[in-house]
């Protein structure tokens, strides 16, 4: 998986990895080592996050589309109701 980061984001991520290594692992990493580690994480573990995002998007679309007719319904033949000032309740069609 390619890095979907801007140069600025990648630089910030590299600095974060270096800080993590220093403070948590008590090990100094160069920018090159941290960048290599970042690339590895994206290639190796990025697909997990990507696939989970796809699943979440699919769930959202399924929930949205289950009531698509009710969500997107436009009541027809409203002209005369609007002209007379009657404000009837718009109801979704019965299946």
Is 56 domain-assigned? yes
Asked if residue 85 is part of any domain, the answer here is no
| Structural domains of the chain, count | 1
12: domain range?
7-74
- The tens digit of pLDDT for each residue in 13-49 reads 999 999 999 999 999 999 999 999 999 999 999 999 9
Q: HSE (CB half, 13 Å, CA atoms) of 14?
A: 17
- 82 assigned to some structural domain: no
83 found inside a domain: no
Pairwise CA distance, residues 22 & 26, whole Å: 5
pLDDT, tens only, 39-75: 999 999 999 999 999 999 999 989 888 887 777 778 8
On whether the pTM is more than 0.75, the answer is no
Please give the pLDDT value at position 46: 92
């Amino acid at each position: 998986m390619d890095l979907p980061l801007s140069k600025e984001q990648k630089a910030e991520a590299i600095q974060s990895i270096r800080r993590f290594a220093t403070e948590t692992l008590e090990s100094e990493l160069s920018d090159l080592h941290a960048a290599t580690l970042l690339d590895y994480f994206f290639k190796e573990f990025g697909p997990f996050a990507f696939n989970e995002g796809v699943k979440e998007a699919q769930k959202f679309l399924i929930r949205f589309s289950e009531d698509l007719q009710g969500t997107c319904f436009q009541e027809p033949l409203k002209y005369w109701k609007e002209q007379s000032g009657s404000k009837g309740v718009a109801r979704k069609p019965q299946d």
